[in-house]
Chains A and B, each alone.
Chain A
Amino acid sequence: MLMRIFFITFLLLSINPFAPATAAAQNEQAGVWQGSRFGVPIWVTVVPRGHALPSPDVRATLPWWQWGNTTSDVYLFAMHKQSDVRVVLEFKQQTDGQPEARIYLNKMGRSAVTYSLEGQQFSVISNEGHPNIIVRPNSGSWFIGDQVNYQLTLLVDGRMPPGGGSQPIETDGTIDWQIKVGTNHPGVPEWQTNELVNDPQPTWGYNRFYSVERMPDAPAYKVEDAFMPTFPHLTLGLKRLRSNDPLEYSDGEVNWFRQNPRPLYFNMRDEQFEVFPFPGFENGGSYAYNSNVAPPNIDFESPFGFYNFDPSTREAQLVVRGAYTPSNDPFAADTYDSGSLNINRSSFRYSWKDEDNQRWRYSLDVAGFYTYTQQLTVGDYSFPGIPASEVPSWVVSKPWPLATFVEAINGFPGSEGIYAYTAQAAPNRDWLDGITSDKPLHLDTPYIDSTNGLTVTSDTDQSLPVGFRGEYNTTYFHQPKVYFSPIDNRLHLMYAEGGIWNLDGEHVLRVHNMAGSAYIDAWARERVPEQQLGEDEVPQALPGTVEEALYTLNGYLLYSGPRGMELRKADYASELFQSTPPTDRTSWQAFRQRLHALNGQERNPNDLASWLHAFPGQTLLATAGQISDVRATAQGFRFVVDLQPGFTLSGIPANGTLQPGKYVVAYDGSFSVNALTPPAPIGSVQAGALTALQKNDVRVSLENNGLQDLNNATLELWAAQHNETPTLALTQTLSLLAGEPASAVLAWTPEQGGDWALQARIRAADGTSYPLARSNVVVAAAPTSNATALIGVFSPSAALFGGFAILALASLAALTTWRQSRLTNRKQVH
């Protein structure tokens, strides 16, 4: 019986006995107002406490918010039907006489709040009666004179609505978030801080601190009309309009660039309660820190500044988004999962607009290792940071290890700047942290989408949509600057290593810095090769077929296109002007004015031949043939040209009369033309002491005695033991340039000791194989791991002990079994 009772009790306990009661029925002492808000039918029930409501006749003459007070009454907000109360606003008096507003929700507004109401006795049942948000004025009441009192403290029990971090936090009577709002100007909230004060998972990475300020020169504060003028912080809205909205949903949209919404916001469309920043959110003049650690430290998205240089709009014209990870930050995004880092990481997205106030045009992003050495104070908090007014100059005044520059040819909408092809991309961290010796591949081969959207791939930061062009330098160490090139009449990153322009998803304009100077000196339009892609995969700008190219080297223009090539001596400047990115209103306007004068003169990337028109000069060489292997040399440049019948040569000395055919044209202050000879690689293999099962350096010295370069060739190392058939041990890609000695070091790991024969080979991109010298080497054997060697690892006494003990154990086991089996037998006998 006892068991049965226990069992039944257990079953009963498994059923939740505290299921919420249905909402209370009508109450004669409460007044109900029915109307609509942005087309949504709503009911506001005003429950008086300690007094009676005005009579129905009087109420009919008053707006609903004047029926009750904001010190002791309760307001129930229902949508679509009167019983579906989603928000309960209860006013109470604190012990010091100041009012307090309590907001009750159920499942953050997704379910109806359950409550009981008898007479003037009101209590909430949902969440065991705990309010989700408590709002208190720091002093006085909800108003100071006729101005809204923005000296407030908000206590949030549960998640910060609507998301508030990735962790589920219950509404359980414990305050989880503390929000403080402050100002020195009544009627204008100047700053706000949010801190997670009850951390459910201290070791997990999520937002714990947020601060936002209005910059001193921010556009004038503007907020939507109050829904409840006696408590102006609460409102009901639709957040976003949709194309298929019914006509009556004519308004109710949140548009920060028009005006701030009221911060305590019930989103009737998505049926969830949200808390917006009081001072503003991503509109011009707002400056935020968003951190996974709470002060006195700071990290993650810190700072995030939205700079307004145009007082006619609330948009930002410059956005600076920091990503900050100080040394030993517990939530550092690791390049490799090895705990926190011992280096500081700081990087910035630095996007600005040009003519169009709605769209971002340029972004010069940087990444490096700087730390914040100043202390900022926002409200009660002090943490490392940069004052808002100093951030732009702080960023552009420093030499940075890695920089990227992006131009969105047709602009990019949104409030946060340009995400594409950024120095802040995750793979760049491997490189900057020194984890890898390989430069980030995505900078040369970004994802290229055939649309101009940025949401097709999760690797947006490594992508260039159509109409975006990007440039980079992975060892920049310069103060970030751009220059205006008269070659293409566009802005470029100074000292860029290279770059890409996604023309249409199938073609890219690749730019190079062949001479290693401050300027781009080669433009090549390529057809991107076909790629085998899975569903939802996006192609990359892999090296493709060059359709047209233009080089600007040592005062010469070298063009190659479908109709042939031309080498022209021309006068051109490397830059029309150079500039740091704009940092304030003055420099932004100056920047715009400079570009405005040049607008419309951009050259057509689909017709590089037309670019030559702007640079008249003497044509030195022209032919219908093509050029290849263009490269800069120590004193000039060289290329291979296929002279076709009818070619013209002028001003270039040649040995005798040139016949059609392939020639190498080289310039090192003067020109030389020589008939092309095929590649002739020679080389030798050297190795020091070699040991099996260990990486051993094998050095291969190489030289190309022909005049034709071997680009993208493969160095192969073949190994054979005891006259066996050689096997390919290692490969390495290299370019073996004509007349330039090279060497390669290969890490060879022989599987066993003995005599080996090594031979290096060069395999050209067209498959031609060039055998190089052969070398015989002796490889020492790896140590043996037999029982004797292993016993030697331990001391003799330990080995003796082991042997003796295991024998003793075996004997004991056998003896025990023997004794037991003997007893069994005796029992049988007896």
Chain B
Amino acid sequence: MLAQPSPIQPQRRAFSTWLWLGPLLFMLLAGIYFNGRYAGQWAEIDSSTFANIIRGVVDEGKLIPKNAENYSNGYAFQAISAFAVALTGVSVADLQQKIYPLLAWIVVLPAFALYRELLGSKRAAGLATMLLLTQPEFLFVVLRSSHEKFTRTLLLLSLFLMVRSFKLRAQPWQFALHIGLFYLTIYAMIASNNLLANSYIITVFLSFLLMWLLQIVRFRTQTREDQLIRRLMYASLISVGIVYLFIYYIYPPAQNNFYFLRDTFNRMFSLFLDVERTPTNVYSNVSTGWISLPVYFLVSMANWLILGASMLIWLYQAVRWVVQGRAPENESAKLLWLLYASFALQGLITVIADISGTLDSNLQYRLFPSFALIAVAVVAKALNQWRPRRHMGALRFGLASLIGCLAILSLAKTSTDPILGNKWTFYRANELTALEWTDAHLASETIWTEYDERLGVAFKMRHSFSGNDNDFAGDYAQDVARNFVVSDVTRLRSSRLEIPLREPADALQVYDNGNVVLYHSRPLTPYQK
């Protein structure tokens, strides 16, 4: 049975109608904070890469530009961005740095709607949405400027449409409309990122498989379960068909990702686990990414709390259902349990594959944000059903305070705040000025800009590629670079990381704007200038 709304008094109904507003305002403010923390001067690899991909589409007016970088996993984000650029005249860099973070709120309403359907309660939905927005991994991917803002929104929307459609079997037209919208959303999601979409589809398939196994092993066949199984099976198979059409017929660059992977095994895993050829991830260096290990655990506390709490709740539900035979109260609850199990299973396999080195290196695992979508619902549902007999006020206050603290820590992690983190994503205007001067006065040179890509991606974000074929490189080029940009921020970074600066002591100082210096190594051979 589906949960039926309880009768609510008019004044409370009026209030509950606005329960989505809190999370929405939070996300809007988070976008402003993300943007304003560094006055819009931030950049990271994916966002700057997408800036160039968008420029290619804008310049050539084609989804698959011939002379520019292509995004092999989908076209939707760059198409939307190109449309926005054409419509508003805003520069791609401004769109990426200043406008997209402010649009992160678009995930809120689909999330709220999904949770309302899954949990059968607006209050639980509001709580789940708020919990989701304190998950730094999720917050980061929707705040930065990549396809994920849209892909995650579409994922939430498609789940909402699927869950909603379960309740509309008695209304054929509504049912058909939701089915149609579901596949439309699936296609949009595939067009945004076919690997992430496919991973999600596999999750749906796993849910079907799990339910089917439970039916065989544990329960007698029941009509309701049969229908759930059939729907999950159809949804996943048809969606896989759409992915196939997309990769092989609609958007051929999607095949490129497979060619780069070592073998079929890797290719299969890339679809299953949503791994992508991405060189680095700002969260990849756990031990060195933060000023200390305790700080890392502190800023990641929201992840661990949700992970631990949801796992315990799910296990409790599993025991009740599978062992004691006390089925969840409705299909939505079953689906939530199944989806959680599927995402967790995928996550577990990913971790094992990662640790064992089974997969090619430099692949980015991005399942946690998807997992968090479901995990927060599991926790919010439990919180909503929790009926403590005593200390209600203190508990409420404690919960609210905890969420407030988690919000601070999550935002600090999301914005990779330099006070806590060693991976810096901001830059200063004088640094960009120095890079611009350097690019104007050097050609086809390798220029060391810092230990990582901090300044390189800043230049890329603002100016696409070097106009003179220069390479603004990180530490990997320290042995071949003969030009070194060193800023005050770089010196602070050197001090923070306790890694020496790279310019030779006798290097020639050829530029200085007060905060940033360009050094050039002295020539030592007839072939050096």
A residues sitting closer than 8 Å to B (CB atoms) are 3, 6-7, 10, 14, 202-203, 328, 335-343, 401, 431-437, 475, 477, 693-697, 745, 747, 749, 751, 782-785, 787, 789-791, 793-795, 798, 801-802, 805-828, 830
Contact = CB atoms under 8 A, between A and B. Distances in A.
A818 B22 CA distance: 11
Which has the most chain B C-beta neighbours within 10 Å: A434, A437, A820?
Answer: A820
Contacts of B16: 823
Which has the most chain B C-beta neighbours within 10 Å: A337, A340, A401?
Answer: A337
B498 interface: yes
Contacts of B407: 809-810, 812-814
27 contacts: A3-B238, A7-B241, A14-B244, A202-B67, A328-B444, A336-B446, A338-B470, A340-B444, A340-B469, A342-B445, A343-B444, A434-B527, A437-B525, A694-B501, A694-B505, A695-B504, A751-B498, A790-B418, A790-B419, A793-B428, A809-B30, A810-B404, A812-B26, A813-B406, A815-B22, A816-B130, A820-B126
A105 to B, nearest CB: 24
A751 B497 CA distance: 11
Given A785-B493, A813-B130, A693 B498 contact: yes
A821 B384 CA distance: 8
A343 B529 CA distance: 12
Interface in B377-433: 383-384, 387, 392, 395-397, 399-401, 403-408, 411-412, 418-419, 428
Contacts of A785: 492-493, 495-496
Nearest to A436: B480
Contacts of B408: 806-807, 809-810
Interface of B: 6, 9, 12, 15-16, 19, 22-23, 25-26, 29-30, 32-33, 36-39, 66-67, 123, 126-127, 130, 133-134, 234, 237-238, 241, 244, 383-384, 387, 392, 395-397, 399-401, 403-408, 411-412, 418-419, 428, 443-446, 466, 468-471, 473, 477, 480, 482, 488-489, 491-496, 498-506, 523-529
A360 to B, nearest CB: 29
Contacts of A802: 33, 36-37
Contact of A812 (B29, B234, B406, B495): B29
Given A809-B29, A813-B407, A434 B491 contact: no
B182 to A, nearest CB: 12
A820 B238 contact: no
B443 A432 contact: no
Contact of B403 (A401, A431, A814): A814
B514 to A, nearest CB: 14
Contact of A817 (B130, B489, B505): B130
Nearest to A430: B480
Contacts of A342: 443-445, 468-469
Contact of A338 (B25, B29, B473, B528): B473
A338 B400 contact: no
B500 A401 contact: no
Given A7-B238, A696-B505, A401 B527 contact: yes
A784 B495 contact: yes
B123 A816 contact: no
A427 B505 CA distance: 27
A401 B528 CA distance: 13
Contacts of B523: 434
B526 A10 contact: no
Contacts, number: 210
Given A6-B241, A342-B443, A793-B492, 16 more contacts: A14-B244, A202-B67, A401-B526, A437-B528, A475-B525, A693-B495, A696-B505, A801-B36, A802-B36, A806-B33, A812-B22, A813-B134, A814-B401, A816-B130, A817-B130, A820-B22
B23 A816 contact: yes
A787 B66 CA distance: 47
**Closest 7 interchain pairs by CB?**
A816-B22, A814-B404, A342-B444, A338-B471, A434-B528, A813-B407, A785-B496
A782 B491 contact: yes
B392 A825 contact: yes
Nearest to B408: A810
A794 B505 CA distance: 29
A215 B173 CA distance: 80
Contacts of B495: 693, 782-785
Contacts of A434: 482, 523, 525, 527-529
Contacts of B36: 798, 801-802, 805
A479 B518 CA distance: 39
B400 A814 contact: yes
A331 to B, nearest CB: 13
A393 B25 CA distance: 78
Given A342-B444, A806-B408, A810-B404, A697 B489 contact: no
A549 to B, nearest CB: 30
B429 to A, nearest CB: 11
B492 A10 contact: no
B444 A339 contact: yes
Contacts of A812: 22, 25-26, 29, 407
Given A810-B407, A813-B130, A822 B396 contact: yes
Contacts of B527: 401, 431-434
Contacts of A801: 36-37
A660 to B, nearest CB: 46
Nearest to A337: B471
Contacts of B443: 342
A283 B477 CA distance: 44
Contacts of B418: 790, 793
B130 A790 contact: no
B405 A810 contact: yes
Nearest to B126: A820
A805 B67 CA distance: 42
A335 B446 CA distance: 11
A813 B404 contact: yes
A781 B523 CA distance: 29
B127 A821 contact: yes
A782 B493 CA distance: 10
Contacts of A809: 26, 29-30, 33, 407-408, 411
A821 B399 contact: yes
Nearest to A798: B39
Given A785-B495, A809-B30, A7 B505 contact: no
Contacts of A813: 26, 130, 133-134, 403-404, 406-407
A526 B322 CA distance: 80
Contacts of B528: 434, 437
B526 A747 contact: no
A595 B405 CA distance: 89
B491 A783 contact: yes
Contact of A811 (B38, B67, B404): B404
Contacts of B502: 695
A381 B471 CA distance: 34
Contacts of B126: 816, 820
Contact of B400 (A432, A696, A818): A818
A673 to B, nearest CB: 39
B136 to A, nearest CB: 13
Contacts of B19: 820
A820 B115 CA distance: 14
Given A693-B494, A810-B407, A816-B126, A805 B29 contact: yes
Given A339-B444, A697-B505, A793-B428, A815 B400 contact: yes
Contacts of B123: 820, 823-824, 827
B26 A816 contact: yes
B399 A697 contact: no
Contacts of B133: 813
A29 B400 CA distance: 92
Contact of A695 (B15, B397, B405, B503): B503
Which has the most chain B C-beta neighbours within 10 Å: A747, A782, A826?
Answer: A782
Contact of A341 (B130, B444, B466): B444
Contacts of B23: 816
Which has the most chain A C-beta neighbours within 10 Å: B32, B36, B446, B499?
Answer: B446
